[in-house]
Structure 1
Amino acid sequence: MAPPRHRGRGFSRRIQYGLFFGYVAAAMGVVAGVALVLIARFDPLAFEGIRGLALDATTPVTAVTRPIVRGGGSLAGEIGGYFNAVSENRTLHARLANAQRDLIQARVLAFENARLKRTLHLVGDQTVPIVAARIVGSDLSGTRRFATLAAGTADGVATGQPVRAADGLVGRIAEVGSHAARIILLTDGGSAVPLRVVRTGEAALGEGRGDGALEIHSTTVGGPGFQRGDLLVTSGVGGVYPPDIPVGVVTGTSGEIATARPLAEPAKLDFALVLPQVAAPPPVEAPAGRKH
């Protein structure tokens, strides 16, 4: 037998019960709502009591769910804070990198500024230099100590002229070409410079040892001697080096002999000044009739 074409909802008893209880619940809700409205309208005190009961009934549920809600909000805030911290951290790293680059550049500029100031002060204190040129090479073989200067006869450089840097005396011109010159350094084994001890005014002679240091000999018998830390300057004697150019600092003593470290280290030099040679005193003529 074929099933009926249209089956009503009442065919399922479960659906029927569900609809019935739904209608009953809806009717009870409407009745309860109307009753609450009437109570609130005609008996406010009773309505306040009902509200208190509702509040007491919902408080435990609120107490249980509140930490969960707050925890969720806190978790969301922490997640947001984490991503914000990552962004701020990247920004701070970028700023730090820029600050480090600026600091390095500032140090380079400060070093260059200090070097130029020393050079300007140097030129102001001395006679007008012949030329300022770059030191382009050095020769430190054996006991010989030479440096190459990028200036020659075309720039007014001549053999025997003293050479100094901002820190002190470098040496003198030993050989010269058209556009380059060779400097014999103070520490060369064949170099000798008349000196004066600033502390005592005592005359001394500095000779190169060929190992980067100077050997200082006192020329005054029974003088006060040397002390560690004594500053040595040129005395101007001999007609080669101008007076009062810083030369070195005493690092060790042994009787009337001392060891000194030159102030102008050739390995750290970039520029040097070639100075005019001090005019040598005229030779003393022999008496008439005396044969040489």
Structure 2
Amino acid sequence: MAPPRHRDRGFSRRIQYGLFFGYIAAAMGTVASIALLLIARFDPVAYEGIRGLALDVTAPISVATRPIVRGTGSVASDIGDYFNAASKNRALRDELAEARRGVIQARVLAFENARLKRTLRLVGEQVRPIVAARIVGSSLSGSRRFATLAAGSADGVASGQPVRAADGLVGRIAEVGRHASRIILLNDGGSAVPLRVVRTGEAVLGEGRGDGSLEIHATTAGGPGFRRGDLLVTSGVGGVYPADMPVAVVMSASGEIAAARPLADPAKLDFALVLPEQPSPPPLAPPEGRKR
């Protein structure tokens, strides 16, 4: 069998020409390098011109290849982001949960600040309270409605004193201990408060129904009657409760009887103010003509 042609590179002209031109290119590159070194050593100004020319020649190539390089880097970054998405998602969820907790805390502080401002404004407008204390318990079922106040005789609390909150009248002190007392609430089945309708000025009587509401009775026949939304305040009659203290709002009316909702909800109260009991007005002196 005949040997294959061009088995040795000596028999291939193309390979020979390739080696020849490779040697020439290497020699030219060596000569050019030596020449650049000599120019840089003995003629720096000319060397700077050569570098500027090289920069001008390679700039278009850099501009053309820059998007490719940047696209390659972006693809690498996208791949890294894809594999790190789970950890970043967990970190973002943790940050969101922390931000939500901060928002909730801010809302709680804003509500507490508004409530304290209302209480301070209330203290400034009304008589000086005996004590401001926390409501620590309440019985809000059955016909008897009571609340426990964390203040007693050691704090100046006495039986019969009115108790109010920022929204309105809560009730009065029924029992007193050394460091705690019991409040009988307005909606207790045995509670009665003299009231006045703000719209008409009519004197009425509010009685607790034991179900969280008040039953309002007109004290005069043929009066102007009640309307839904009428505001009821204390009249000051009897000397127990100060006058013009907000108490309740009429929810429904039927003739000379109405159902009202107390403004101060005991289930939502944190603090309450104990006020001094109002002194009863002195008896009227007899007319001068009746004296003997």
Place the TM-score, normalised by the shorter chain, in its bin.
Answer: 0.7 to 0.9
* 3-state SS, counterpart of residue 281 of structure 1: coil
1: CA distance, partners of 2:116 / 2:230: 27
Superposition pairs for residues 59-208 of structure 1, below 5 Å?
Answer: 74=71, 77-81=74-78, 83-84=80-81, 86=85, 92-208=92-208
2: CA distance, partners of 1:79 / 1:16: 46
| Counterpart check, 1:218 vs 2:211 | no
Indicate if the aligned counterparts of 2:141 and 2:211 stay in contact, CA closer than 8 A: no
1: CA distance, partners of 2:263 / 2:254: 21
Give the Å deviation of 1:88: 6.6
Structure 2 letter corresponding to 1:17: D
| Counterpart check, 1:20 vs 2:17 | no
Could you give the per-residue CA deviations for residues 51-98 of structure 1, whole angstroms, max 9, x where no partner exists?
Answer: xxxxxxxxxxxxxxx9xx96x975762451354483775665454333
Give the Å deviation of 1:16: 4.5
2: CA distance, partners of 1:139 / 1:100: 34
Residue identity (%): 69
2: CA distance, partners of 1:109 / 1:82: 45
* 3-state SS, counterpart of residue 206 of structure 1: strand
2: CA distance, partners of 1:230 / 1:209: 19
Could you give the per-residue CA deviations for residues 4-58 of structure 1, whole angstroms, max 9, x where no partner exists?
Answer: xxxxxxxx977843343222443477899xxxxxxxxxxxxxxxxxxxxxxxxxx
TM-score, normalised by the number of residues in structure 2: 0.73
Give the Å deviation of 1:153: 1.1
Q: Aligned residue pairs: how many?
A: 241
Indicate if the aligned counterparts of 2:140 and 2:267 stay in contact, CA closer than 8 A: no
Q: 1:285 to 1:24 in 2, by over 3 A?
A: closer
TM-score, normalised by the number of residues in structure 1: 0.73
| Counterpart check, 1:255 vs 2:255 | yes
1: CA distance, partners of 2:260 / 2:20: 114
Task: Give the aligned CA root-mean-square deviation in angstroms.
Answer: 3.2
* 3-state SS, counterpart of residue 148 of structure 1: strand
Could you give the per-residue CA deviations for residues 240-287 of structure 1, whole angstroms, max 9, x where no partner exists?
Answer: 00011111111111111111111111111111111010111345799x
Q: 1:261 to 1:216 in 2, by over 3 A?
A: same
* 3-state SS, counterpart of residue 134 of structure 1: strand
Structure 2 letter corresponding to 1:144: R
2: CA distance, partners of 1:183 / 1:29: 109
Match of 2:269 in 1: 269
Q: Which segments of 5 or more consecutive residues in structure 1 lack a partner in the other structure?
A: 1-11, 33-65, 287-292
Q: Which segments of 5 or more consecutive residues in structure 2 lack a partner in the other structure?
A: 26-63, 287-292
